[in-house]
Amino acid sequence: MPAVRNGTDRIRPRNKAYDISFPDEKPAVDGNSTVPVQGKLYRPPRELLPEATCFPVKRLDGGQTDTVVLLERFVFFDSSQHMLLLSRLDDHSEIDVYGAGIACLEGHEPRSVRIGPIQSYDVDLADPDGAMHVNTERARYCLGIPSKKYRSQFRKTFLPHRIIQTIVSSAIRDPGREYKDFLAEFLKMKIVGDPPHEGDIWDCVKQLGRAVETIAGNPRHAIMVDFLLSNTAPPMKRVIEPPRRRTRKPKATIEREVIDLTLED
């Protein structure tokens, strides 16, 4: 898991789950530049509360040690409020990552809250329904449904984790399952609102190989996992859906009244 920042310590060890699965992944860059692409500006609602208002006691001081807070309609951004990928926590940069969303805790009214800096995030790759979690010095949050404006960015981070979760859980549950049978079911899924493609599976094969070595249940020797790790990706066509265009309503025709202004003699 990424390191907890204490005082001026700005060194971030990689996230354990991410490190195992994606040790070679780099942050997105703009062209040949080493500067990550800056996302869209996040405009917070007026009623956004500081995290300390909702959770005044820090976790190390006895606050929110075991309770997990559900965070809905969330978004993550930097100190200048430009949205960014949560995986930026893994690039050892000096950037602080913050979040915002609706915090839902049993017995309390939902509140719009700003959280952070984010210390770490994690995913249980062996849990078929495991959500992504983020941690701050005050609470641990389970990520629910992202904000519409942040959905595509969250999907980029969560997609490979979710695919490995699905493969591993299926392999543990049914080690003799064939890849073709798994694929038929996989393509019917929706991950963060959109269906995946077969190519998404093959994009994760290298990370899958690292992950299965650390997961209990010995999924490495399952037929499907062995097939994926022993073969190269088959030729396939990726379906690129054209962007949706809004249909404009035809303009209403306005009949103009002609007024005769001719003066009679």
210-230 pLDDT, tens digit each: 888 888 877 889 999 999 999
- Please give the pLDDT value at position 35: 40
User: Model confidence over 65-105: pLDDT tens digits?
Assistant: 667 999 999 999 999 999 999 888 877 677 899 999 999 99
Mean pLDDT of 24-47: 57
User: Model confidence over 151-191: pLDDT tens digits?
Assistant: 999 999 999 999 999 999 999 999 999 999 999 999 999 99
Average pLDDT, the chain: 79
Cis bond upstream, residue 117 (ω within 30): yes
- Please give the pLDDT value at position 46: 77
- Please give the pLDDT value at position 156: 92
**Angle separating helix axes 151-173 and 205-212, nearest 10 degrees:** 50
- Please give the pLDDT value at position 245: 61
User: Model confidence over 115-136: pLDDT tens digits?
Assistant: 999 999 988 888 878 899 999 9
Selected residue with higher pLDDT from 175 and 61: 175
Domain boundaries, the chain: 29-145, 153-230
- Please give the pLDDT value at position 51: 93
Model-level pTM? 0.71
